[in-house]
Chains A and B, each alone.
Chain A
Amino acid sequence: MFLEIDNLYFSYPGKHRPWILEGYRFGMEAGEKVGISGPSGQGKSTLLRLIAGLERPQKGQIVIDGEIVTSAEHDVTPEARQVGMVFQDYGLFPHMTVAQNIAYGLWRLDKKARRERLETMLELTRMQAFSTRYPYEISGGQQQRVALARALAPNPKLLLLDEPLSNLDASLKVEIRREMRELMEQSQVTCLFVSHDLDDLHAVCERVVRVGAA
């Protein structure tokens, strides 16, 4: 298994808070694109945050590519997990241009390699013409593409998508879904996609699992 989650327990801090995830188990193979669906508040986004290391579970183990990143003994920081994430509202840095946003995670590369990778990502997302614009100067769909390019640029082991299409108009969604699927296929990244919209998940993922009530 490439990603292995075992017996995961999580609740937000505070007395008598209910478990968001209780004994959760999940696994996926390298290169797979898996969708996660379920009702609101059942822990879909929390699961992604736990995998990214942005939250710490009370109990359980997470293994990515053979390395234990979360367990009672291990706690790998988010920056060391090599996990890319696209947030629901994208989280594009407003004080950086499109190019600076995409290049942000490429700091380990030398200057030449960084420029080449940036060009590749701009080309892949068809954002070359907008590279010097700031996030607020581009449309919602373009922002979504930049967020995806930024997350993919450092070649993460695992890509986490947290409702990345929820802020888009219905008319835009169909086109963006197609673009996303193409981008995923080209990058061959292992991907975990959370959405409450099953159409989004079926358009991009090979299989869909549910968290929560079911």
Chain B
Amino acid sequence: MEIRAALLRRGFGNGWTAIRAFSFLCVLLPFLALASGLFSPPGEHWPYVRDHLLWAYCTETLVVTLGASAFAGALGVSLAWSVSLYDFRGRRFFDLALVLPLAIPPYIAAYAYEGLLGYTGVIQVFFRDHFDISLARLTTEIPAQAWAIWIFGVTLFPYVYLLSRAFLRHQSAAIFENALLLGGRARLFWRVGLPLLWPSATAGVILVCLEVLNDFGVSSHYGLTTFTTAIFAAWFGMGDADTAIRLALILLALVFFVLLVRKALHNARRYHVVSSQEKWLSLHRLRGFPQAGVLLFCGLVFLAGFLAPLLQMLHWLRLSWRGAFTADLGYALLYTLGVSGAAALCVMIAATGTVNANRLFKNRLSAPLSQGATLGYAIPSAVLAIGAISFFTGADRWLASCFPFLPERFLSMSSFLLVFAYGIRFFSIGYQSVEAGFAKIGNVYTEASRTLGRGVSATFFRVDLPMIRHALLGGSALVFIDILKELPLGLLLRPFNTETLGTLVYHFANNEALEETALPSLCIVFFGAAFLLLTKLGEKGEEKRVSGN
């Protein structure tokens, strides 16, 4: 009786905790399958890869990751600082616009930059025709790593920008005004602003870091030998799955190192910023040269991260639109929207169940279970794909022995595998959105409802759900955008003879048909930008509504 009461109180045997356990299990299984690869004999190419290529994979991956993270960090922090502390012409526009580069997948930006900067691109032609200046060395002499760092920096800086901006938006004026009175604007940034921003900025930089480690499209385009391209080469080029698994495990170790750094940075924080709602940070009006400088800086970054790739895509579309609207594109569009929608829905259901279980039924397992379930985002897609394939291939063998009437490779050749992998990879984005939604409303409404006689589930549907709907919609949009942009999972796990928009773009670019990438790329950018803007506007509306109350 005592044990039963204790178990019920901790939520054992109820639907919410079952969703939490299921989410954790879904993330865990592919990695167990991957880890089991360690015990299998190494592939025939492994000794060569280990002795001659592994060091190059490590250095190239580290150079690009560190370079891109530092560049994106510098851009994100300086832009957030400019938009949060200064008032200048176009500030409201840039506050929204600087998020838009997130709608452009880095690999699409890389293709667009090749078009822009290539021998027949707008920039070289302009300088050649008008000033008789040859910029051919621009593409030949600047190392590929530098281009990759540039592309990652200008497309991924919004991760740092968004987190830093969110922190600065809710800062009390008192801290900054005191610092200003005691030491001027330069000291305000270096001695007070940057140290306070450090946790938010480093959280953003870690996200950039994980995105770069996950990348395949940019590295493949610039011919870089990073871990992800090496996994693809081992899997497809050498046909050596065991070597691919070993490389995936090394990459996983690298990711865990990044996560450890994140944890160490978090734990090293010995203070907590207490913000008062009495008076938010007020803006300092800029005029003359300072205004022009900030405007130019914001404008150039927006141009580099969003406008230039977009204009290049539109230019290519103008050249190729007659043959662009094909049945293949229509099918890829529908398929992409379908799997993205299905995966986003699954993610939001699982995330809502997990967060609700965590807030209502706390026990010793709840923290590790939910932390484990959110690890998917940190795991590079190539690693996840190999883990998922390994697991589902085994599951298919088991299913075939139990149910002989099922088609061969029932799970591993269907879209189910892709939706499952998308779900694991982007679970943490949904989880964080739902968690933020619940944190905003607190527990008092749930408690009030329960003391009025409603159970946990009835309370959820009648009280919690209507109150966190904005967070759910925002989270769904973010998951949807990320899936839309995702390339490596699509390349590795899509069913035979099926393309997503991302894989279609990749194949066109791989076949040197860059103009053909325009329409599918624009579809991705359009849906991504539309959902991003809707999410941002929804957040602003919600903030206004809350403050209006």
Q: Which of A56, A77, A78, A154 has the most CB of B within 10 A?
A: A78
The reply on A136 being an interface residue by CB < 8 A is: yes
A-B contact count (CB 8 A): 75
Task: State which of A73, A91, A105 has its C-beta within 8 Å of the C-beta of B445.
Answer: A91
B467 touches A56 (CB 8 A): no
Query: Residue of A at shortest CB range from B450?
Result: A78
Task: State which of A13, A75, A150 has its C-beta within 8 Å of the C-beta of B8.
Answer: A75
B448 touches A79 (CB 8 A): no
The reply on A94 being an interface residue by CB < 8 A is: yes
Q: How far is the CA of A136 from the CA of B546 in the complex (A)?
A: 10
Q: Quote the shortest CB–CB distance from A43 to chain B (angstroms).
A: 17
B444 touches A104 (CB 8 A): no
Interface size grouping (class) on chain A: 20 to 34
The reply on B9 being an interface residue by CB < 8 A is: yes
Q: How far is the CA of A87 from the CA of B453 in the complex (A)?
A: 16
Interfacial chain B residues near A92, Cβ < 8 Å: 448
B444 touches A79 (CB 8 A): no
Interfacial chain A residues near B455, Cβ < 8 Å: 77, 79
The reply on A21 being an interface residue by CB < 8 A is: no
Interface residues in B, total, Cβ within 8 A: 23
Majority-rule SS of A interface residues: loop
The reply on A214 being an interface residue by CB < 8 A is: no
B454 touches A79 (CB 8 A): yes
A95 touches B452 (CB 8 A): no
Majority-rule SS of B interface residues: helix
Query: Residue of A at shortest CB range from B455?
Result: A79
Q: Quote the shortest CB–CB distance from B425 to chain A (angstroms).
A: 32
The reply on B267 being an interface residue by CB < 8 A is: no
B448 touches A85 (CB 8 A): yes
The reply on A22 being an interface residue by CB < 8 A is: no
Q: How far is the CA of A73 from the CA of B4 in the complex (A)?
A: 8
Q: How far is the CA of A104 from the CA of B461 in the complex (A)?
A: 13
Q: How far is the CA of A140 from the CA of B171 in the complex (A)?
A: 28
Q: How far is the CA of A122 from the CA of B263 in the complex (A)?
A: 53
A93 touches B463 (CB 8 A): yes
Task: State which of B2, B8, B448, B451 has its C-beta within 8 Å of the C-beta of A72.
Answer: B2
On A, residues with C-beta under 8 Å from B are 13, 52-54, 56, 72-75, 77-85, 87, 89, 91-95, 104-105, 107-108, 136, 150-151, 154, 160
Q: A75-B9, A91-B447, A104-B462 are in contact. List 18 more A-B contacts (CB 8 A).
A: A52-B447, A72-B5, A73-B2, A77-B455, A79-B450, A79-B452, A79-B453, A80-B453, A84-B451, A87-B447, A91-B444, A93-B445, A93-B467, A94-B549, A95-B467, A105-B453, A105-B454, A154-B452
Can you list 29 A-B contacts (CB < 8 A)? Answer: A52-B447, A52-B451, A53-B450, A54-B451, A72-B5, A75-B6, A75-B9, A78-B450, A79-B450, A79-B451, A79-B453, A79-B454, A82-B453, A83-B451, A84-B452, A85-B448, A91-B445, A91-B448, A93-B445, A93-B467, A104-B449, A104-B452, A104-B462, A105-B454, A107-B454, A136-B549, A150-B448, A151-B452, A154-B453
